[in-house]
């Protein structure tokens, strides 16, 4: 609904709140209009038409005066000469803080890099926790911007649409504002995939021509059954949004013609008891589709959503989804947490199903580990935002809420981290099941634990919740710490020797202090886990001794040769800078360099006159040292491409691929990678080892290959 002037907005608000402070709204309208004078939108319209439209969207949700006024003023502090103190003086502290909160949300770059994005998500939830109304204004602001997005540059349209699809639409859905989520998704879909959206619409038009007005017919069928059962209720039907249909087609890998529930129907009753009577009448008339029944009345969603969902084989065998709820439940389903501020007839609506916003934010953030890293925080937040929930039970009958796709391991960690760490098995409804089993609604889960058990690396790929992933990673880091420290010590030794220094305990402690780490152990652990490069530590302590930008000449990488001696690396052991080496001289061939532990050196044990004492030139080496890596990987679509991408992400070049064995379930291959030094090799090996589709991994050394 468009709003033309202040009086029209006042009338819209007074229609649901006769006790509204009309003078406050008029003053805010006049002030906002004055502050934005001379400003225009991309479309050429006066800029103030945007805040007015945002206020109109929120008025349609029957929100309080403070929220409406905030909508009118939400861009004044950011885009005009207005200030916080001026807004506070004219409209009070509450409104000034709301406007300031919306301004801070606007300035958050939620679609930026992962580390910055996760920190901004923290700020987002902090702002929401202070007053949920700031996000209601921000969502309405985004909705109007998406409705008018065609006036923006094409690249900006794509950027805003992706941000809307990734962040604002799921957030609206998580808050229970399903209508807004669907419209935001569809508007973004229109920009990101116009042809896909148009194809859905064309198929709908064709379907209507073939089968007539399906919605009218099925609505009439349902009303007829309710009349027979003498149940008073309203019945609504609608075609689902194009993006909703497109997403289901992608998820189920089905064509439009095979997709069953392209229409949705709602039955709104007078009482909760009537909801179950309606369910009985519908199931008595049509056959229920197994596995498609959800009772969110007895087990509500955390955002307050209550409804019964069932899918039946209706007219002409078409599958039809029906949602059954009371009027109060319907209001919450339409407006979500916004129902907490809704007004009717001048008083705040006391809807028993509306969720307290403070409790909602607490439920959303209570499991976010404040000490977790950026990636884990962001992963957890997004899982919480996108998750549809399942409800399962402990053996004692207590309800546990988990996202769809959760496993017994997620259940175990939801109970307690210690239970998750010690989990060795699970029973669902009394039957022993694998830990990767997906839990379904209403199932009872019993976790089997054992002393001495600890998380496995493969568990990361099994669990679905951020809490479980964070706990598993933390425990794995603790267990790997000693191994990483040992490896990090060797990497530090090599890196320091490159510049003619020693990795003393004092040097390591100094570097750790400068990096804000808790002692040399933490520093070495990060080196060993490839979270930190040893060259960075050296550059931090001895900037004068290393020039990151200057690489050593290929002809000068080895020290200890005569000026006219040529050299080559042994193909049997493929030594790289950072490893201890020795040369074997050949008449007419120069010197062949071997790793000091190469088994091929045994044949020269009695020929000590041919041994040449060598070491690598300190400094930054060029990435020209080929190393062969022996890999066994899953034979699945996309795995080999991902492995190659992982190597490329480490700035390493693949010079050759040789398949040794091809089986239906795996490949074994040799990958030749061009590297700088042993630290570079370790970084590549570590990222490959962490991939769940890599079964085995080792450095390939072939003693049969002669230099």
**Residue 589 neighbours by CB distance under 10 Å:** 12
604: exposed, middle or buried (Cβ count in 10 Å: 0-12, 13-18, 19+): middle
- For residue 21, the 8-state DSSP code is -
- From the list 78, 166, 480, 702, the catalytic residue is 78
CA 704 – CA 271 distance, rounded (Å): 82
Give kind and range of the element (H or E) at residue 633. Answer: strand 625-634
Handedness of CA 508, 510, 516, 517 (dihedral sign): positive
Residue 465 CB-density burial (10 A; 0-12 exposed, 13-18 middle, 19+ buried): buried
Going from the C-alpha of 623 to that of each of 465, 626, 669, the distances in angstroms are 40, 8, 22
Show Cβ contacts of residue 619 under 8 Å, excluding neighbours closer than 6 positions: 498, 499, 546, 547, 550, 551, 552
The two tokens of residue 433 are 């099941």
Strand partners, 500: none
Give SS3 for 569: strand
Residue 78: active-site member = yes
DSSP at 366: T
268 CB burial (10 A radius; 0-12, 13-18, 19+): buried
Instruction: From 451, 446, 478, 473, select the one nearest 461 (Cα to Cα).
Output: 473
**65-84 burial: b if 16+ Cβ within 10 Å, else e:** bbbbbbbbbbbbbeebebee
| Set 8, 79, 163, 536: catalytic member | 79
d(CA 505, CA 256) in angstroms, rounded, equals 66
Q: How far is it, in rounded angstroms, from Cα 322 to Cα 55?
A: 33
Instruction: Give catalytic status of residue 65 as yes or no.
Output: no
CA distance 142 to 177: 14
In three-state form (DSSP H/G/I as H, E/B as E, the rest C), the secondary structure along 304-345 is CCCCEEEEEECHHHCEEEEEEEEHHHHHHHHHHHHHHHCEEC
How far apart, in Å, are the Cα atoms of 427 and each of 16, 419, 437, 446, 449? 53, 14, 10, 5, 11
What is the spatial distance between Cα 274 and Cα 271, in angstroms, rounded to a whole number? 5
Any idea what DSSP says for residue 540? Answer: H
Question: Do 222 and 267 form a contact (C-beta atoms < 8 A)?
Answer: yes
Residue reference for tokens 């100094």: 510
Q: Are strands 615-616 and 581-586 parallel, antiparallel or unpaired?
A: unpaired
- The span from the CA of 466 to the CA of 382, in Å, is 9
Q: What would you measure as the largest C-alpha separation in the chain, in angstroms?
A: 106
- What value does the CA radius of gyration of the chain take, rounded to a whole number of Å? 32
DSSP, collapsed to helix, strand or coil, labels residue 594 as strand
Q: How far is the C-alpha of 402 from the C-alpha of 301, rounded, in Å?
A: 10
Could you identify the residue written with the tokens 């030594």?
A: 575
**Three-state DSSP state, 663:** coil
CA distances from residue 700 to 4, 94, 646 in whole angstroms, order as listed: 74, 68, 19
Q: Known catalytic residues?
A: 78-79
């Amino acid at each position: 609904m468009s709003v033309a002037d202040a009086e029209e907005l006042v009338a819209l608000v007074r229609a649901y709140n006769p006790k509204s402070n009309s003078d406050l709204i008029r003053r805010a309208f006049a002030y906002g209009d004055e502050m934005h004078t001379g400003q225009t939108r991309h479309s050429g319209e006066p800029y103030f038409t945007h805040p007015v439209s945002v206020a109109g969207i929120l008025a349609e949700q029957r929100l309080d005066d403070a929220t409406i006024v905030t909508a009118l003023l939400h861009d004044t502090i950011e885009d005009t000469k207005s200030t916080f103190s001026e807004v506070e003086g004219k409209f009070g502290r509450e409104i000034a803080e709301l406007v300031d909160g919306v301004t801070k949300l606007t300035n958050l770059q939620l679609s930026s890099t992962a580390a910055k994005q996760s920190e901004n998500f923290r700020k987002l939830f902090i702002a929401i926790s202070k007053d949920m109304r700031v996000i209601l204004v921000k969502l309405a602001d985004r909705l109007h911007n998406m409705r008018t997005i065609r006036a923006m540059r094409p690249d900006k349209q794509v950027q805003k649409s992706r941000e809307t699809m990734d962040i604002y639409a799921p957030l609206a859905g998580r808050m229970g504002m399903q209508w807004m989520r669907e419209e935001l998704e569809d508007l973004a879909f229109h920009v990101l995939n116009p042809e896909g959206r148009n194809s859905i619409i064309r198929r709908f038009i064709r379907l209507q021509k073939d089968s007539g007005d399906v919605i009218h017919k099925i609505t009439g069928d349902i009303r007829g059954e309710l009349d027979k059962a003498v149940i008073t209720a309203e019945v609504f039907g609608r075609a689902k949004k194009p993006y909703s249909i497109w997403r289901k087609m992608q998820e189920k890998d089905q064509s439009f013609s095979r997709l069953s529930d392209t229409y949705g129907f709602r039955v709104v009753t007078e009482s909760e008891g009537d909801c179950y009577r309606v369910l009985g009448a519908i199931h008595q008339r049509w056959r229920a589709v197994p596995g498609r029944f959800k009772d969110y009345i007895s087990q509500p969603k955390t955002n307050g959503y209550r409804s019964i969902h069932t899918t039946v084989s209706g007219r002409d065998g078409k599958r039809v989804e029906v949602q059954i709820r009371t009027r109060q439940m319907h209001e919450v389903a339409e407006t979500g947490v916004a129902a907490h501020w809704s007004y009717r007839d001048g008083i705040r609506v006391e809807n028993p199903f509306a969720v307290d916003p403070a409790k909602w934010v607490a439920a959303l953030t209570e499991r976010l580990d404040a000490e977790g890293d950026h990636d884990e925080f962001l992963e957890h937040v997004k899982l919480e935002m996108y998750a549809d929930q399942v409800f399962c039970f402990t053996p004692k009958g207590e309800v546990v809420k988990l996202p769809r796709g959760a496993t017994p391991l997620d259940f175990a960690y939801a109970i307690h981290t210690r239970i998750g760490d010690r989990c060795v098995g699970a029973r669902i409804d009394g039957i022993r099941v694998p830990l990767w089993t997906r839990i379904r609604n209403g199932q009872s889960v019993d976790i089997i634990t054992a002393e001495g058990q600890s998380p496995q690396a493969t568990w990361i790929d099994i669990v679905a919740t951020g809490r479980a992933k964070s706990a598993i990673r933390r425990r794995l880091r603790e267990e790997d710490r000693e191994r990483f420290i040992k490896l990090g010590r060797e990497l530090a030794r090599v890196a320091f020797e490159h510049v003619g220094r020693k990795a003393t305990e004092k040097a390591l402690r100094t570097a750790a202090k400068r990096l804000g780490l808790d002692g040399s152990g933490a520093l070495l652990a990060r080196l060993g886990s490839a979270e930190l490069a040893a060259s960075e530590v050296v550059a931090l302590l001895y900037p004068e001794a290393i020039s990151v930008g200057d690489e050593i000449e290929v002809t000068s990488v080895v020290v200890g040769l005569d000026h006219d001696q040529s050299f080559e690396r042994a193909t049997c052991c493929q030594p790289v800078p950072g490893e201890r080496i020795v040369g074997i001289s050949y008449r007419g061939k120069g010197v062949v360099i071997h790793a000091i532990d190469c088994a091929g050196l045994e044949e020269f044990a009695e020929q000590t006159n041919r041994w040449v004492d060598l070491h690598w030139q300190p400094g930054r080496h060029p990435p020209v040292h080929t190393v062969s890596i022996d890999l066994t990987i899953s034979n699945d679509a996309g795995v080999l491409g991902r492995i190659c991408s992982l190597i490329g992400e480490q700035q390493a070049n693949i010079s050759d691929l040789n398949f040794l064995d091809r089986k239906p379930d795996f490949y074994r291959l040799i990958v030749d990678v061009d590297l700088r030094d042993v630290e570079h090799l370790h970084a590549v090996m570590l990222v490959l080892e962490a991939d769940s589709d890599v079964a085995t991994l080792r450095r390939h050394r072939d003693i049969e290959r002669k230099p």
